[in-house]
Structure 1
Amino acid sequence: MATPVTTTIHTSKATDMFDDFLVRAILAGIGVSLAAAPLGCFVVWRRMAYFGDATAHAAILGVAFSLAFGISIFVGTLAVALAMAITVTTLAGRGYAMDTLLGVLAHSALAFGLVAVSLQHGIRIDPMSYLFGDILAVSKSDLVVIWIGVIGVILLVIWRWQGLLTSTLNPDLAYASGIDPKREQLVLTIGLAVVVAVAIKVVGALLIGALLVIPAASARAVTKSPEAMAVGAAIIGAASACGGLWMSYTMDTPAGPSIVCVAAVFFAASNLVARIALTR
């Protein structure tokens, strides 16, 4: 008869742990970092930093649609982010300059999204929480959605890793190996859309691009292989999330920007270490 009591006590302790907002925030930050890290590596290798920003900015429009139609924020942001990413990918090959196209679409989507959110009557929302994130307000249900998305992205990247890597480094070799670079681009697009959808609650639309690029760029300076860079980016991203939350908790600073600040410190430190190593 003692076993059920023990099980109940352990279950209760686990439930109490998830009742702590800081624990939920840490788990959410680590989860998003793990999903963003490998995709961030491809964003850096393909020089697509602005592509990530455009997809993230479109998520605000997804928030407006979600509120208007009464659907999940995750579903709305995922749908709009995916639509934006596919639109950019399609138009980029039809004579449009990529930087101009991304600039127009990114800022237009953000502006339309903010206007649409402001027109939602009878619904109390804080637009700043979607722009800069509100990781400390992550609920248990948010945590479940985030980790389902994270696991999905990680499995997708593992499944398509070789194809993504080959088409990124050498498209001609990819064609010769029977790999379609356009298909791999679509896989990357889907992965980025999912990351944007799960990360908007954590760091917000304006900072998602930073979480994609900075850890990957930091790892690039101190690693020698693509796989090591992806793992290094995940570690740096997770450390940035934990460090940013500690900074926010102790110094009463905004959590999302604090995470990016810590990531920027890691970037400076990793490049400094790389330069010192080269001089020896």
Structure 2
Amino acid sequence: MNILDNFMNRAALAGLGVTVAAAPLGCFVVWRRMAYFGDATAHASILGVALALSFNISVFAGALAVALAMATTVSVLSGRGYTMDTLLGVMAHSALAFGLVAVSFLQGVRLDLMAYLFGDILAVGRTDLAVIWGGAILVVALVGWRWSALLTATLNPDLAYADGIDPRREQMVLTLALAVVVAVAIKVVGVLLIAAMLIVPPAAARPFARTPEAMALISTLIGAVSVLGGLQGALILDTPTGPTIVCVAAILFLLVSIGNSLRIMAGQGGGK
């Protein structure tokens, strides 16, 4: 029997594909304090889903186009009279609202809105897997290609200019990668949980990492454990799969935080 014939195997491969894309990108989201940026881009993708169904095109293409347009618009407008969080708040909630209203006008289209909001990883098919892993490979290649420049622009924009690196260009690279991740992850964990997969594994990996590369690798491992553990937990407990994956990631983050706090307290006690 082909490994892809089993829906649980397809779900696991889909979740791992999202993790491979989200983990290294999520590190930059954490370093740059762009958590709300990822959340806003994800919310906007619901409008892309509605437009895709209206024009009978790929949901992936619609979500990608709107997520990219949203992220690019915010990047261009930031610093021009509005703070970043204000722009994100206005555009994210507006796009989500317009998307939900647009969905209500769709005639003759059977749409499981909950699947797009919270994901439906167990319904992933072979075509979905190809899209997810194609997007993951694109994101990894893009971030890997620009890794050094992205790090420099993140840590010190002035040093980046001195090295001939344009921080705004690197911001656009992150914007493109983020839009791709949102588009491929919408089927797996849904719009409302994408930001969690971008942020929670890197945040959990941070105390263990001594280098940026190590943090990206550890984040990927934590994301993979979250996916596999969440799938198994959902199967045993009969709970929604996407939220269960995020719950496992949150539990890992909590355990890491407690362990790190105890380690710091022990170090302080030993130093007295």
Both structures adopt the same fold (TM-score exceeding 0.5): yes
Structure 2 segments unaligned to the other structure (5+ residues): 268-272
Contact 1:63 1:76 in 2 (8 A): yes
For residues 84-233 of structure 1, the aligned pairs below 5 Å read 84-233=70-219
TM-score of the two chains, using structure 2 as the length reference: 0.96
Structure-2 separation of matches of 1:18 and 1:241: 17
The 3-state SS of whatever aligns with 1:207 is: helix
TM-score of the two chains, using structure 1 as the length reference: 0.94
1:29 aligned to 2:2? no
Contact 1:215 1:234 in 2 (8 A): yes
Contact 1:40 1:216 in 2 (8 A): yes
Structure-2 separation of matches of 1:187 and 1:29: 23
The 3-state SS of whatever aligns with 1:206 is: helix
In structure 2, give the amino acid aligned to 1:261.
C
Structure-1 separation of matches of 2:187 and 2:165: 35
Q: CA deviation at 1:89?
A: 0.4
Deviations 1:235-258 (A, max 9, x none): 101110111111111111001100
Structure-2 separation of matches of 1:57 and 1:28: 21
In structure 2, give the amino acid aligned to 1:70.
N
The 3-state SS of whatever aligns with 1:210 is: helix
Q: For residue 81 of structure 1, what is the aligned residue in structure 2?
A: 67
Contact 1:133 1:204 in 2 (8 A): yes
The 3-state SS of whatever aligns with 2:191 is: coil
Q: CA deviation at 1:118?
A: 1.7
Deviations 1:15-36 (A, max 9, x none): 3x20111000000001101100
The 3-state SS of whatever aligns with 2:20 is: helix
Q: For residue 61 of structure 1, what is the aligned residue in structure 2?
A: 47
Structure 1 segments unaligned to the other structure (5+ residues): 1-12
For residues 236-251 of structure 1, the aligned pairs below 5 Å read 236-251=222-237
Structure-2 separation of matches of 1:95 and 1:277: 44
Structure-2 separation of matches of 1:95 and 1:41: 28
Deviations 1:147-201 (A, max 9, x none): 0000010011110000101100100010011111011000000000000000000
Q: CA deviation at 1:104?
A: 1.0
Q: For residue 262 of structure 1, what is the aligned residue in structure 2?
A: 248
**Percent of aligned pairs with the same amino acid:** 65
Task: Give the number of aligned pairs.
Answer: 266
Q: For residue 262 of structure 2, what is the aligned residue in structure 1?
A: 276
Structure-2 separation of matches of 1:231 and 1:208: 19
Structure-2 separation of matches of 1:272 and 1:225: 22
For residues 42-61 of structure 1, the aligned pairs below 5 Å read 42-61=28-47
Q: For residue 5 of structure 2, what is the aligned residue in structure 1?
A: 19
Structure-2 separation of matches of 1:223 and 1:268: 17
Give the CA RMSD over aligned residues: 0.8
Contact 1:41 1:213 in 2 (8 A): yes
Q: CA deviation at 1:93?
A: 2.2
In structure 1, give the amino acid aligned to 2:208.
V
Q: CA deviation at 1:211?
A: 0.5
